[in-house]
Amino acid sequence: MSNLKEIANQMVVKGKGILAADESSGTIKKRFDSINVDSNEENRRNYRETLFRSTDAMENYISGVILFDETIRQKSKDGTPLAEVISKSGSLPGIKVDTGAKDLALNNSEKITEGLDGLRERLQEYYQLGAKFAKWRSVITVSKDIPSELCIHSNAHALARYAALCQENDIVPIVEPEVLMDGDHDINRCSEVTKLTLDRVFKELVAHGVDLKGICLKPNMVINGSLSKTKSSPEEIASKTTSCFQEVVPDSVPGIVFLSGGQTEIEATENLNAMNRIGEFPWNLSFSYGRALQASALKAWNGKESNERLSSKAFSHRAKMNSLATLGQWSQDKEV
């Protein structure tokens, strides 16, 4: 277990964050469609390899990379396994292990994440392929009448079972309960649901014997719904988020890596920076962004090998900006 604690601390080290490159086949296709590039295996490999070989970003600002099942099995153009490319940069390879959010039975307005069947055996294989950590995402939908107690409990229970299986197999679990931005709810409703969700998640983790010093928490920020009539300032988001987490996240958790959840690149950086400007917390506050780290890099790449240097430069810039945000040192003038 001591090795798990060391890896967890490495994942949330000051000044670095985690690249979420674990888009499902459907999600990566949507991203590629936006730049009119075919989502075939070679293009997916080439794009992700461009990110993983971005030396400045990977060595200085990225602590770990979450991979999709296809990617952890792929090799680079020179025949090196992509997990090894990541490791050689000083970063940690990780793996998404859930199989997606499906409708909760007899309830088509809420979701339950599946993938527990056969997970022990898959984790053993992923460990052999080089994975040091894993990720499981649960989604909590918000409206006037939901989430239900059943939805919160079912997802928290599944997250805890997953986390226990990870630690049993010497893999650090990223625990990701995402309260979705989708909806017209305000920031106070988001805070209420986030608090309820995290409280239940940690009760389930403890009940399953999970060592909280050997996990990484990946939650949403406390933020207005995307359809809300009001938009909170970064300072209010930071205040509401950190206050909520101080109530329910145990001090023993080494770090919190926020998901971007539909925010723009700048919004995700600015909000993280505002949190780290507040002061010291018992856990490091960092990032685990997908689109908010990759949007500019994907646009710069545009499916062309000749653009790989431009894509790498765009990715490194975004990684550096978020690194500054983990220290509370980002400002708009540094985006130039």
The rounded distance, in Å, linking the Cα atoms of 309 and 33 is 21
Q: Tell me the mean pLDDT in the region 125-131.
A: 98
Q: Tell me the mean pLDDT in the region 28-32.
A: 97
pLDDT in tens, 164-173: 999 999 999 9
Question: With a threshold of 0.95, does the pTM exceed it?
Answer: yes
Amino acid 222: pLDDT: 98
pLDDT in tens, 185-237: 999 999 999 999 999 999 999 999 999 999 999 999 999 999 999 999 999 99
pLDDT of 296 above 80: yes
For the chain, domain boundaries: 2-335
Amino acid 204: pLDDT: 98
Amino acid 2: pLDDT: 67
pLDDT of 7 above 90: yes
Q: Tell me the mean pLDDT in the region 250-266.
A: 97
Residue identified by tokens 């794009």 is 47
pLDDT of 102 above 90: yes
Beta strand pairing call for 101-104 and 216-217: unpaired
- Grade residue 279 by pLDDT with cuts at 50, 70 and 90: confident
Amino acid 1: pLDDT: 60
Amino acid 192: pLDDT: 98
Q: Tell me the mean pLDDT in the region 6-14.
A: 97
Question: DSSP letter string over 156-167?
Answer: HHHHHHHHHHHH
List C-alpha distances in Å: 258 to 1, 107, 322.
Answer: 24, 28, 11
The rounded distance, in Å, linking the Cα atoms of 115 and 327 is 36
Amino acid 188: pLDDT: 97
CATH fold label, 2-335: TIM Barrel (3.20.20)
DSSP state of 229: S
pLDDT of 266 above 80: yes
pLDDT of 251 above 90: yes
Dihedral angle, C-alpha 322, 324, 326, 332, nearest 10 °: -70
Spot the catalytic one: 96, 135, 218, 240.
218
- Grade residue 336 by pLDDT with cuts at 50, 70 and 90: confident
The rounded distance, in Å, linking the Cα atoms of 325 and 293 is 13
pLDDT in tens, 144-157: 899 999 999 999 99
Contacts of 218 (CB under 8 A, 6+ apart): 135, 137, 174, 175, 176, 256, 257, 258, 259, 288
Mean pLDDT estimate for the chain: 97
Q: Tell me the mean pLDDT in the region 21-47.
A: 96
Q: Is 176 a catalytic residue?
A: yes
Amino acid 167: pLDDT: 98
Spot the catalytic one: 176, 178, 265, 267.
176
pLDDT of 299 above 80: yes
Amino acid 101: pLDDT: 97
Q: Is 218 a catalytic residue?
A: yes
The rounded distance, in Å, linking the Cα atoms of 72 and 318 is 24
pLDDT of 311 above 70: yes
pLDDT of 93 above 80: yes
pLDDT of 32 above 80: yes
Amino acid 108: pLDDT: 82
pLDDT of 43 above 80: yes
The rounded distance, in Å, linking the Cα atoms of 82 and 73 is 8
Of the listed ranges 78-82, 279-283, 312-316, the least confidently predicted one is 279-283
Using an 8 Å Cβ cutoff, are 167 and 1 in contact?
yes
Q: Tell me the mean pLDDT in the region 11-37.
A: 96
